[in-house]
Amino acid sequence: VATRIRLFETVVKTDSRTTQFKAPSHEIDRRRNLAIISHPDSGKTTMTEKLLLYGGALQQAGAVRQKAEQRATQSDFMAMEQERGISISSTVMNFDYEGYRLNILDTPGHQDFSEDTYRALAAADNAIMLLDAAKGLEPQTRKLFEVCRMRGLPLFTFCNKMDRPALSPYELMDQIQDEFQLESFPVLWPIGDGERFKGVLDRMENTVHLYQKSTTRGGKADVVKVPLDDTEKLQELINDEELFEKLMEDKEILDELVSPLDMERVLAGEQTPLFFGSAMTNFGVQLFLDKFLTMGTKPSSRLAVSKADFGSGDDGREVVAPEHEEFTGFVFKTQANLDPKHRDRLAYVRVVSGVYEKGMKVGHSRSKAGKKYNLAQAQALFGSDRSSVEVAYPGDVIGINNPGSFAIGDTLFTGNSRVAFPGIPSFSPEKFCYIRAPNPSDYKSFRKGIDQLLDEGAVQALRQRNDDGGGPLMLAAVGQLQFEVVQARLKNEYNVDSIMEPLSYSLARWADGGWDAVDKADKDGKLFGILVVQDRWKRPVLLFRNDWKAASLTEEEKYLELKPWSS
C-alpha cells in the first residue's frame, strides 16, 4: 500500500506528466521558418511552388497559369481563391530538405488581406521580400516591409522575373537603400535580363550558374556551373561578349563598393542578402533555397508579457527561449470549415518553446489559472491537406481543434507558471457595411456563420450603442474583398444568403476616453456627421467619412483620445 501511495504522489506531483517537454537542440537548429512578402503579381505563388518543388514536397509544380484554369496550387485552397486566382488566407506548408525542416507561412498578397499577412508575420522568424525586378518596390511591399521592420525580422530579398526586361540591379539596390535604409549584400548577381538572362554569379562561391531554359514550366531547370576564373569556358558558354565583360566589371565593382556580408546585421534587420532569379523558369530558386537554409535564423526567443497584463500578478517581461523546458505557443490565426466536410474550427498555433505531444494538457492565457485544455489531436497543414501530428517543436505550426475558446493572440503553455506573449494588433478598418439574412428562417445559421467568421477575425463586428445582439449588424474590414469572402463563405459553408448595404464611412477611431467622453462631445454638438457605434466589447467607436473630419475632431476634443485601433 505504501508503495502505491508513493507512486500516486509521484504521478500527482508531476502533473500526470509522462513526457519530457524540453525540445532537443538538433530539432530547433534544423528548423527554418519563413514568410514571403510581396506586392500582388510579383510571383509569390510561383515562388512558393518552386520552393516546394525543389524541396521535394511537390513532384511537379502546378504552374500558376493553371490557376486560371481553376486548378488550385497547394497554397490556394479556398473556393474563392481558386475562382479568383488570389491567395486569401495564410496557410502553412512544411517539408524536410537536406536535413532541414522548412515551414513556409504563405501570406495573402491582395492588399485587402494585409491583416492576415500581418498575423502570419507574427509567426515567422525570417521574411523574404519578393520583388518584380521590372518594378522594384511597390506599395504593398512598402507596407509589409514596415511590419517586418517593426517585428525585427531578418529580411532576404529575391528580385524575380529576371527573364523579363528588368531594372538595373544597381537601381534595385539603391531603391532598397534609399527607401528602407537597408543595405543590400548581393549573394547572387544576374547576368543579363529578359531574353538575354543567362544565369547568376554566386558571389560567395565565385561560381557562375548558367541555366538552360527549361522546356516545361513545371520541371526543374538544368544548370551548368563554371568557376568564375575559368574565363575561357565562361566566355564560350555565355556566348555574349558584352554580357561577359559586364559580369567581370560588375564583380570588381561589387567587391570594392559593397560592404561584406555581416550576419549579425542581417539578423538585426540592417542588411539584406540579395538574390536574383526567375521563379517561373526556375532560375536561381534552388540556389536561393540552399543559401537561405544556411543563412536564415532558426526559431528565436520571444518576448513575453507577464501575467500582470492579465490582472493577476508579477510585473516585468521575460524572454522565452526555444530551449525553455515547458511548451509554449501562441495562436496567430483561426479558421472555420477548412474542410467543409468536417465543419470544424482550427486554431493555428506557432510553437515557441518545448515540445507539443499528442494528448498534452495546456493552460491558456485568458482562462482561469488551473484550467487545462486537452490538445488531443493536432494537425500539420499543407494547403487543404492535413495530417495528424504526434510531436511538434519550436518553429512549427500546428492546427488544433478550437472549441471556440482560442482567439488570435492567445498563449498556450504547460507547467505552473503562466506565460502570455504580446497580442497581435488588428489593422484599423476602412470599409463598413450592414449585413443581414433576407430570409428569416435562415437567421440561426446566419448567426452561427457570422459568429464563427468573427471569431476567426475575418472581419470585425460593430453594433449600435447598447445593442445586445438584436439590432442591425455592421461589419468592418480593411478591404472590400473581406466582405465578399464573408458573403461567399456564408453561402458555401452555411448555405445562407446575405444582403450587404455599404456605408460611406472610411475611417474608424476608438474613443479611449470611453462613453463619458463621447457623451460630452455629443452634448457639445461635435459629433455631427459622425456615426457612433460599439465594438464587440461595447467600447465606443467613431466612424468618419474622411481623414479630415477625424483630424479636426481630435484637434478640438483632446479628451476623446482617438486611437486607430482598440488598445
How many residues touch ligand G4P (CB under 6 A)?
A: 20
426 binds ligand G4P (CB under 6 A): no
359 by DSSP, 3-state: which?
A: coil
90 binds ligand G4P (CB under 6 A): no
Kindly tell me which residue out of 33, 90, 160, 534 binds ligand G4P, with binding defined by CB under 6 A: 160
Angstrom distance (rounded) from CA 313 to CA 466: 32
45 binds ligand G4P (CB under 6 A): yes
Alpha-carbon separation of residue 439 from 191, 433, 450, 470 (angstroms): 62, 18, 15, 16
534 binds ligand G4P (CB under 6 A): no
Kindly tell me which residue out of 22, 40, 318, 500 binds ligand G4P, with binding defined by CB under 6 A: 40
328 binds ligand G4P (CB under 6 A): no
Half-sphere exposure of 213 (CA within 13 A, CB side): 8
Q: Give strand pairing partners of 336.
A: 345
Question: Residue 210 Cβ, how far from ligand G4P at the closest point, in Å?
Answer: 17
DSSP string, 390-427: SEE-TT-EEEEE--S---TT-EEE-SSS--BPPP-PPP
**Which three three-digit cell numbers place residue 392?**
511538434
DSSP string, 103-145: EEE----SGGGHHHHHHHHHT-SEEEEEEETTTBS-HHHHHHH
278 binds ligand G4P (CB under 6 A): yes
Kindly tell me which residue out of 6, 26, 65, 538 binds ligand G4P, with binding defined by CB under 6 A: 65
What is the crossing angle of helices 443-456 and 480-494, to 10°?
A: 130
Nearer to ligand G4P, 164 or 563 (CB): 164
Kindly tell me which residue out of 147, 210, 279, 511 binds ligand G4P, with binding defined by CB under 6 A: 279
CA dihedral 38, 44, 45, 47 (to 10 degrees): -160
Question: Residue 545 Cβ, how far from ligand G4P at the closest point, in Å?
Answer: 32
Nearer to ligand G4P, 161 or 345 (CB): 161
Residues 98 to 127: which contact ligand G4P by CB under 6 A? 109
Q: Interacting stretch for ligand G4P, rule CB under 6 A, among 61-69, 98-106, 264-272, 448-456?
A: 61-69
Backbone angles phi, psi at 95, to 5 degrees: -160, 160
46 binds ligand G4P (CB under 6 A): yes
Nearer to ligand G4P, 12 or 68 (CB): 68
190 binds ligand G4P (CB under 6 A): no
Kindly tell me which residue out of 280, 378, 478, 550 binds ligand G4P, with binding defined by CB under 6 A: 280
CA 433 to chain centre: 26
38 binds ligand G4P (CB under 6 A): yes
138 binds ligand G4P (CB under 6 A): no
Q: Interacting stretch for ligand G4P, rule CB under 6 A, among 39-47, 248-256, 399-407, 444-452?
A: 39-47
198 binds ligand G4P (CB under 6 A): no
Structural contact between residues 501 and 511, judged by C-beta atoms closer than 8 angstroms: no
220 by DSSP, 3-state: which?
A: coil
Kindly tell me which residue out of 21, 28, 34, 42 binds ligand G4P, with binding defined by CB under 6 A: 42
41 binds ligand G4P (CB under 6 A): yes
271 binds ligand G4P (CB under 6 A): no
43 binds ligand G4P (CB under 6 A): yes
Alpha helices in 56-202 (DSSP H): 65-68, 79-84, 114-122, 139-151, 169-180
Q: Is the dihedral of CA 542, 331, 35, 154 positive or negative?
A: positive
Alpha-carbon separation of residue 306 from 119, 397, 417 (angstroms): 21, 23, 10
Amino acid identity for residue 93 in this structure: M
List contacts with ligand G4P (CB under 6 A). 38, 40-46, 64-65, 67-68, 109, 160-161, 163-164, 278-280
